[in-house]
Amino acid sequence: MSEHRLNSFISSATVELHSLALGLKKQGKTVFSLAAGEPKLPAVSLLGGTKRIELGYPPVSGMDELKKLASAWQNNIFRSKFSVNEVSVVPGAKMGIFLLLRALLKVGDTAVVISPYWVSYPQIIELCYGKTLIIKTTQENDWKISPKDIESIKEKTCKVLIINNGSNPCATLYSKTELELILKSSQKKGLFVISDEVYGCLTYDAHKFYSIGEFKQYKDMTAVLQSCSKTFALPGIRMGFVFASERVIKAVNALSSQTLSGVSLLSQHMALRALKQAGSVVKKVNQEMLVRRNLMAGLLKKYWGNAFGKPKCALYFFVKVSDLKKNVFNDRLFCDSLLKKYGVVIVPGSAFGQTGYVRLSFGSESKIIFKAIKLMAKFCGK
């Protein structure tokens, strides 16, 4: 048997670090993890108990009641206009991205990814037999791409642009005008735009989120991803939604029927429960994440001064290693040494395509944040 394909897969760096932290805990070691991108809140306190449900095969595209609620929620919160036939229920936004790329890319086609990027984008593109074109951004530009970046693309095989708004790892938040200009440039280039919007409800300090779904004139060339993991603090149910034109959703559903046979009805009923209480649940999650963001910001200021601004959205501080520890630039070595010496888990920026930075998640409980930052300060000689 050829080993070539078997040896070509790369695990998610953030998932590996989360698994490492769990493994160390099982060994009885003390670990303070700021690695996982999840808002840690007890689901039962948010949603209440469960009811008796029938567990037959699920509808491939999702339960009708769930799709109706999901589309109504998306349309109401983000000013979009998706019908029930323009939403597909998927086991997490990550699988939604995979299904979209598998439907959109032919062998050898190229997808454009903005760096710093969510760790899984390039590998998912490769799994779909595509190629990745990376557009670099800078901290000075708030890690944003411009229409000029899109217009400068020369590769004729480019078919898809993936945009993460608000972004993981660097909490980038695009304005309505910026998004419209990106869509115009993408249309000129013939690019289909996949908008990963799983952090759309996690914005702070009156900063406003704009969804690509709001631009109804571009519906035929766009898809929006949403997730219960971030919005409702329910990562364990593996539940997400793809919103797109009927033509795209039909392809996603066909792929899902041949690979997944639909999403667990247990998960769908949990998502249904969350959507029925969306207003109160999203408010609770957002309020708690704001408290934790401010806690981490205060601790960083206490030990390092005013070197770091507060993220406008999402769950992360994305900071230069050299701002944490003078004359240290190797992000992987910094993270490895911090873990070995003090049991603190953070993610190196190189996993996101940006060396010399690290990602700190404030999704963890406040007591973990407090202890982890205190130990990291000690490690850095503060």
Provide the CATH number for the domain around residue 139: 3.40.640.10
DSSP-derived 3-state class of residue 91:
coil
Amino acid at 23: G
Split into its structural domains, the chain has a count of 2
Residues 97 and 234 both lie in one domain: yes
Q: What's the CATH number where 301 sits? A: 3.90.1150.10
What percent of the chain is predicted at pLDDT more than 70?
92
ω before 116 within 30° of 0 (cis)?
yes
In the block, tokens 């009805």 appear at: 265
Q: Which residue has the tokens 């000689």?
A: 381
Element (H, E) at 298: helix 278-304
Contact 104, 192 (CB under 8 A): yes
CA distance 379 to 382: 8
Q: Which of 245, 277, 309 is the last residue of a domain?
A: 277
User: What's the length of the chain?
Assistant: 382
**What is the dihedral sign for C-alpha 304, 305, 307, 309?**
positive
The pLDDT value recorded for residue 34 is 79
Instruction: Quote the pLDDT of residue 134.
Output: 98
Question: For position 18, what pLDDT does the model report?
Answer: 67
| pLDDT of amino acid 47 | 53
Residue 208: domain span: 55-277
In a domain, 316, yes or no: yes
Of 221, 281, 244, 278, nearest to 61 (Cα)?
244
Between CA 234 and CA 215 the distance in angstroms is: 28
* The pLDDT of residue 1: 34
140, 176: one domain:
yes
Give the other-Cβ count within 10 Å of 51's Cβ: 7
- Structure token digits, residue 240: 């997400």
Which stretches in the chain have pLDDT values below 70?
1-16, 18-19, 37, 42-53
Q: Could you give the dihedral angle defined by the CA atoms of residues 282, 284, 289 and 290, in that order, rounded to the nearest 10 degrees? A: 100
Encode pLDDT of 232-280 as tens digits. 999 989 999 999 999 999 999 999 999 998 999 989 999 999 999 999 9
